Amino acid sequence: MTYKLFRPIDNAPLILFRIFFGFLFACETFGAIFTGWVRNNFVIPEFTFSHIGMEWLQPLPGYGMYFYFGIMGCLSFLVMIGYKYRFSLGMLGVLWAGAYFMQKTSYNNHYYLLLLVCILMFFLPANAYASVDAKQHPEIQQLSMPAWCSYVMIFQITIVYFYATVAKFYPDWLDGTYTRLLFTGITGYPSMHKVFTNSSFHIFIAYAGIFFDGLIVPLLLWKRTRTLAVLFSLVFHLFNSFFLKIGVFPYFALSYSVFFYPPETIRSFFFKQKPFFENQSYLTYGKTVLYWFFIPYFIVQLVLPLRHWFIKGDVLWTEEGHRLSWRMMLRQRNGVIRFKIMDKQTNEPLYYPVERHLTTTQLEALSNKPDIIWQMAQRIKEHYLLENKEVRVYVDCKVSINGRPMRLFINPATDLANADWNYFWHNDWILLSE
Span 198-215, pLDDT tens digits? 999 999 999 999 999 999
What is the percentage of the chain residues whose pLDDT exceeds 70?
98
pLDDT greater than 80 at residue 275: yes
Contact in structure between 237 and 251 (CB atoms under 8 Å):
yes
Alpha carbon distance, N-terminus to C-terminus of the chain: 49
As a whole number, mean pLDDT of residues 281-307 equals 89
Q: Rounded to whole angstroms, how far apart are CA atoms 90 and 94? A: 6
Beta strands in 265-316, from DSSP E residues, in sequence order:
none
Q: Is the dihedral of CA 259, 265, 269, 271 positive or negative?
A: positive
Rounded CA-CA distance 128/85 in Å is: 10
Q: State the helix-helix crossing angle for 199-221 and 148-167, rounded to 10 degrees.
A: 160
Inter-residue contact 8 to 144 (CB < 8 Å): yes
Whether the predicted pLDDT of 81 surpasses 90: yes
> Is the per-residue pLDDT at 281 higher than 90?
no
Averaged pLDDT for residues 405-433: 94
- Structural domain spans, the chain: 2-309, 332-418
Give pLDDT, residue 318: 95
Q: Are strands 144-146 and 407-408 parallel, antiparallel or unpaired?
A: unpaired
Q: DSSP 3-state assignment of 336?
A: strand
